[in-house]
Amino acid sequence: MRKKVDDRVGPAKRSRRRVVITYGTYDMLHVGHINLLRRARNLGDYLIVGLSTDAFNTIKHKSAYQPYAHRRRLLEALRFVDKVVPERCWEQKTRDIKKFKASVLVMGDDWKGEFDSLKKLCRVVYLKRTPSISSTQLRALT
């Protein structure tokens, strides 16, 4: 089992790691989420997940089946997720890329082109979604 990278390591060690950042609601965690997060982590050494807060989901006209705290605990339990931060607004991506010195922003390909303006800050990668699975589909079954 891979050991989590300690955030308290010295600046020299932090500056050498390749930080990947991604964002989402991650409601009803499913294999599509796992596939995306695992592939995102494989693009670097340290994966940060910006998890949409319940308030931000309201702004986006979305609702999550599970509250933020539950979704956060699920993501933190994944061995390939190193850090989870609350996502509170659209503009946060720019600030987080700078703050965490992210080398790569990863989003699902349903967002293709939406974050191309961030290419001046880091590499932007849109990963293919896993076919035949989504939180929307799972909600329809309940």
Terminal C-alpha separation, the chain:
34
Amino acid letter, residue 131: P
The beta strand positions in 54-127, using DSSP E, are 83-87, 102-108, 123-127
Q: Is 62 a catalytic residue?
A: yes
Catalytic residue, chosen from 4, 13, 60, 112, is 60
State how far the Cα of 112 lies from the Cα of 127, in Å rounded to an integer.
Answer: 9
What phi and psi values does residue 124 have, to the nearest 5 degrees?
Answer: -115, 125
From the number of C-beta atoms within 10 Å of its C-beta (0-12, 13-18, 19+), residue 1 rates as exposed
Of residues 137, 126, 136, 138, the one with CA closest to residue 23: 126
State how far the Cα of 59 lies from the Cα of 64, in Å rounded to an integer.
Answer: 12
Catalytic residue, chosen from 3, 4, 13, 62, is 62
State the catalytic residues: 60, 62
